[in-house]
């Protein structure tokens, strides 16, 4: 059974993520412990809220270094919603503040559409990326979103899926052991649970 550390920095639906992972067969622990994070088989960084507040909380809890170490150790890592955005270099929401900088690129605010983008919307999978999270997940599957910003990676090869909200935005990324989704798989019913199940198999 995979031991998964769910990083608790005070932002996100942690219990919902934990319950969903346990449902698909994981042993999931909500933790602020660097030791737990480093010893886990896989790590999940969830999150809901503001980019700047999240980065400052991760700094105050001394969690940035273990997150980077886990990612560099090739352990499977999944960022969810704000957890995806934190993997990038910077955000329009927090100008001058550096993100985790795992992926080069920015986090940009939606323009010309109602924000936040809340509710169900469809995935358009990028077959060239061949993201393992989407094995057995139907093209056009509806996922649950709640966000005002979206990631804009410099390296377009990491794009695993897009979603249309006024225009196509990046809704999932994948490179090696690192995965990130803008939607909430834990709230996305059967297809969302399938994504979490696939994460366990990585």
Rounded CA separation 193/126 (Å): 20
Distance from C-alpha of 44 to C-alpha of 8, rounded to nearest angstrom: 10
The number of beta carbons lying within 10 Å of the beta carbon of residue 79 is: 29
Q: What is the DSSP letter of 138?
A: P
**Hey, how many other C-beta atoms are within 10 angstroms of the C-beta on 32?**
15
**Active-site entry in 117, 147, 184, 197:** 184
State both tokens at 47: 């999150």
186 catalytic? Reply is yes
**Catalytic residue list contains 146:** no
135 part of the active site: no
Catalytic member of 81, 93, 131, 147: 81
| Residue 190 DSSP SS3 | helix
Q: Choosing from 93, 131, 186, 197, which is the catalytic residue? A: 186
Instruction: Please compute, for residue 33, the number of CA atoms within 13 A of its CA located in the half-sphere on the CB side.
Output: 10
- Please list the active-site residues: 81, 184, 186
């Amino acid at each position: 059974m995979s031991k998964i550390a769910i990083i608790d920095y005070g932002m996100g639906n942690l219990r919902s993520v934990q319950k969903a992972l346990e449902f698909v067969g994981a042993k999931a622990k909500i933790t602020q412990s660097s030791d737990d994070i480093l010893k886990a088989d896989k790590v999940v960084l969830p999150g809901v809220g503001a980019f700047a507040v999240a980065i400052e909380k991760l700094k105050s809890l001394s969690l940035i270094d273990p997150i980077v170490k886990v990612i560099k150790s090739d352990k499977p890592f999944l960022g969810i919603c704000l957890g995806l955005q934190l993997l990038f270099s910077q955000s329009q929401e927090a100008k001058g503040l550096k993100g985790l900088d795992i992926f080069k690129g920015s986090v940009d605010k939606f323009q010309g559409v109602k924000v936040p983008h809340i509710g169900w919307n469809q995935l358009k999978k990028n077959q060239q990326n061949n993201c393992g999270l989407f094995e057995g997940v139907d093209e056009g599957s509806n996922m649950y979103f709640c966000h005002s910003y979206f990631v804009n990676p410099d390296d377009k090869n990491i794009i695993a899926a897009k979603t249309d909200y006024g225009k196509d935005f990046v809704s999932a990324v994948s490179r090696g052991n690192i995965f990130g989704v803008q939607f909430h798989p834990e709230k996305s019913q059967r297809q969302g649970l399938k994504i979490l199940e696939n994460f366990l198999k990585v």
